[in-house]
Structure 1
């Protein structure tokens, strides 16, 4: 078995091989099924396999994206959430069961049971993501993939990924604005995607900060991100006030030293005359609670 798996590993490109590749090495399809049953192979999609054991849904999705691109007869690249996974960008509100691809040319959209191929993206690029994708894989331009994410997932999913992409220098806010404007007439949700992506800000350092800014903006507050107050950099300062808004994605701290350091930091900020509002994921789903917390903080800081 080990010799067979090693042969298949050597036959793989980006961790993926086909049934035909296996047969060329003298390993029939029924043998692949048997190896998969004992956990030595992973079946990705029709006729495509991997020797890699993935640890999460994103890794599995990436390998399936590689497999389907290779299986298709016409050139295609990753887009929407499939491109986000390839670029290691944040994925929120995202269904990873379906692979999303885009053609280098042609405009018709094709759907299968486990993938969708969009029309022309205006040219494909190439990207890698070691250790899985070492050989460059075709993908849509990052700006196009972000707008497709907004359509296939949610506008806030596109915004969170866009902030990260701008922060990493993968794309500019102008390129994103142009791609959003180029969404075809009649695309479902296009207007909401354009509105969301108009607020891209690469200073946000996590999806939680992106969504905090969005909730606060929707409540009518203006924020200044990444503000230095003495030796401390805070996530946000409510413009024109002494109210700090911080996003805390952790349910609890396991490190006692981290708890003590955070308390000392917050006490020092209060001594400097600031009021701290700390938000968690659950708060971002309850704008009314966020408003109450901010109003109380504004009153205390007045």
Structure 2
């Protein structure tokens, strides 16, 4: 039986398409149709293949379809619309803000936040009404852990949809709201130079360990001025490089071999390289010991050859090499 040619439709849409309530019940029994929430349907195949964020987006769209003018997606729902990383942010409820300063309304699948929303804090993404990137990040930072907030904030800065000035303005605008102290701390720790959730989490872990502050995403050159590689973390005074290995970083044998060659060249220059992955982030003491051992090994080595900087330079921009 044919369904409306869309990934989300209402009962009224189905009736207009020619389906009856009996048809809808039958399609639900066979699994060809899924109920997103009362009165809103998604083809079964779409629901089965949807990721958690895609399911959240479908639910968010269903609430926007029935929302009065002025309500916008906010918090994690807006972050998804923006395309930001949302590491460990709960997806069970859609978050919306209506801009009226009275108590929030909680429902099983939605939270309607009652906080002031200025015109300049509203925008649209692909036609979807949302809070601006900066307002979204500060709302998340007020209501989530610092680590989670920094992960999404780093993603927002990296994407170019916001910057530190906009975040500072958003923090100031929220100065009387619940959770603003946590938001201030989280925003102060955000950096667009972290290129993944793993790097953001690593940076936050370093904040809790007795480790020196590393330089982020440095471009390393050899003694002849040839580019060797971009590294995640550079403890330059200690002659140590840190690299976070994500699950999908090496998705082919060719990539793996290229990475091995790059690391061999870094070691040849005199750098000591420490690698870690997601599991290592859950064992901070073990990771700290590995860094301490690396610092000890590097202390007996000469200063690494070559040069490094925070951006890729053309040959005529490089310093002279001895």
TM-score bracket relative to the smaller structure = 0.7 to 0.9
Structure 2 matches for 1:20-35, cutoff 5 A?
A: 20-35=12-27
Q: How many residues align?
A: 286
Structure 1 residue 252, shift from structure 2 partner: 8.9
What is the CA deviation profile of residues 212-249 of structure 1, one whole-angstrom value per residue up to 9, with x for unaligned ones? Answer: 11211332421111111122111110142311011101
Task: Give distance in 2, aligned partners of 1:115 and 1:30.
Answer: 29
Whether the 8 Å contact between 1:150 and 1:156 is mirrored in structure 2 is no
CA contact (8 A) 1:41 1:49 kept: yes
Query: Could you give the per-residue CA deviations for residues 241-283 of structure 1, whole angstroms, max 9, x where no partner exists?
Result: 3110111012895633333322222121111110111121122
Structure 1 residues 173 and 254: alpha-carbon distance in aligned structure 2, compared to 1, 3 A threshold: closer
Taking structure 1 as the reference length, the TM-score comes to: 0.86
Q: TM-score, normalised on structure 2? A: 0.81
Distance 1:285 1:150, change over 3 A: farther
Bigger mean CA offset, 113-122 vs 255-264: 255-264
* 201-210 or 216-225: bigger deviation: 216-225
**Alpha carbon RMSD of aligned pairs, Å?**
2.2
Aligned residue among 68, 72, 85 for 2:67: 72
2:199 is aligned with 1:209: yes
| CA-CA distance at 1:153 after TM superposition | 3.6
- Structure 1 equivalent of residue 239 of structure 2: 242
Aligned mates of 1:29, 1:149 — CA distance in 2: 40
1:190-205, aligned counterparts within 5 Å? Answer: 190-205=180-195
Select the structure of larger CA radius of gyration.
2
Residue-by-residue CA offset, 1:104-156 (whole Å, 9 max, x unaligned): 4444311111100112332321112xxxxxxx111111111112223444222
**Residue in structure 2 matched with residue 116 of structure 1 by the alignment:** 111
- The answer to which of 177-186 and 16-25 deviates more is 177-186
Q: Do 1:243 and 1:298's aligned partners in 2 also have CA atoms closer than 8 Å? A: yes
1:48 to partner: Cα distance: 1.3
Partner of 2:137: 146
Distance in 2 separating the partners of 1:233 and 1:181: 35
* Alignment match, 1:295: 292
> 1:209: Cα distance to partner?
0.9
